[in-house]
Amino acid sequence: MAIFASGAGSNAEKIMEHFENHPSVCVKLVVASKKNAGVLDRAARFGVETMILNKTIFFDTNIYVKELQNRHIDIVILAGFLWKVPANLVVAFQGRILNIHPALLPGYGGKGMYGHFVHEAVIAAGEKESGITIHLVDEVYDHGKHLYQATCSVEPTDSPDDLAKKIHELEHRHFAAVIENYIQENPVLFGAA
Ligand SMILES: Nc1nc2c(c(=O)[nH]1)N[C@@H](CN(C=O)c1ccc(C(=O)N[C@@H](CCC(=O)O)C(=O)O)cc1)CN2
Ligand SMILES: NCC(=O)N[C@@H]1O[C@H](COP(=O)([O-])[O-])[C@@H](O)[C@H]1O
């Protein structure tokens, strides 16, 4: 497994914890889109190899696809990754890239909908409920097949920070288990994991 992230990496950390002593699944690589991303320190604490993306190489070449294939990466997990995954990577890992979105898609998704922007929009709309969506990644932002959703309440007094805290709790509780289930339920994609 390779985890792609752009920020603090709390989801990546929960995933590395979950699979640290797993008999058949391991986190081999953490890939960051920013050289100062907190996820890199978290990976180092787990002894996981890290890689910092070059934007031009990522979008204009096949080099990173080959890097993943050379490391025998079977599944790519996006955990707060803020760049659009280009078609070459989507095609090379068809059905094997998962993303977590901090809202109940199809609402509150698409370009510009990440991190606090999502929670601010949910609260501004007066929603009474929000949650998380774990989905397959295709070439369009937040458009792939939904694998799992979980909900939380949105109280009238909630700030975006309050909502972010509830969302992170849901993410940390469910993401790693959804990944494990997806691998185990798709032996054709992942062999006898
Ligand atoms: N091909 C795909 N790539 C990505 C997907 C996807 O579904 N298909 N999901 C996103 C994750 N995401 C929401 O879950 C998301 C992340 C970022 C953005 C966004 O608007 N990004 C900005 C750039 C931000 C930055 O560089 O700091 C932008 O594109 O202008 C929307 C949704 C990951 N990739
Ligand atoms: N649309 C993508 C998006 O907004 N992703 C969100 O970024 C955060 C990353 O937190 P983390 O770096 O602590 O795991 C998570 O809440 C994740 O859902």
pLDDT at 100 (0 to 100): 98
Based on the fold, state whether residues 110 and 90 are members of the same structural domain: no
Single out the residue in 68, 94, 120 at which a domain terminates. 94
170 part of a folded domain: yes
Residue 101 near ligand 1, beta carbon < 6 Å: yes
Domain with 37 in it: 1-94
193 located within any domain: no
Same domain for 109 and 56: no
Give the total number of structural domains in the chain.
2
pLDDT score at 115: 97
182 lines ligand 1 (CB under 6 A): no
CA of 87: how far to CAs of 28, 80, 81, 106, 117, in Å?
23, 19, 16, 21, 25
CATH number at residue 135: 3.40.50.170
Quote the pLDDT of residue 192.
61
Catalytic-labelled residue, pool 22, 72, 101, 174: 101
- Give the residue among 188, 176, 156 at the shortest CA–CA distance from 25: 176
Looking at the fold, whether 1 and 87 belong to one and the same domain comes out as yes
How confident is the prediction along the chain (193 residues), in pLDDT tens digits per residue? 999 999 999 999 999 999 999 999 999 999 999 999 999 999 999 999 999 999 999 999 999 999 999 999 999 999 999 999 999 999 999 999 999 999 999 999 999 999 999 999 999 999 999 999 999 999 999 999 999 999 999 999 999 999 999 999 999 999 999 999 999 999 999 986 4
Domain boundary among 94, 118, 137: 94
Atom of ligand 2 nearest to the CA of 101: 18
Is residue 108 in a domain?
yes
Other Cβ atoms less than 10 A from the Cβ of 70: the count is 8
Q: Mutation test of ligand 1: which of 111, 141, 147, 149 has the most ligand atoms closer than 8 Å to its C-beta?
A: 141
101 is a catalytic site residue: yes
Q: Does a structural domain hold residue 52?
A: yes
In a shared domain, residues 90 and 112:
no
**How many whole angstroms from 141 Cα to the centroid of ligand 1?**
6
Q: Is 59 in the pocket of ligand 1 (CB under 6 A)?
A: no
Query: Facing residues of 78 across strands?
Result: 4, 99
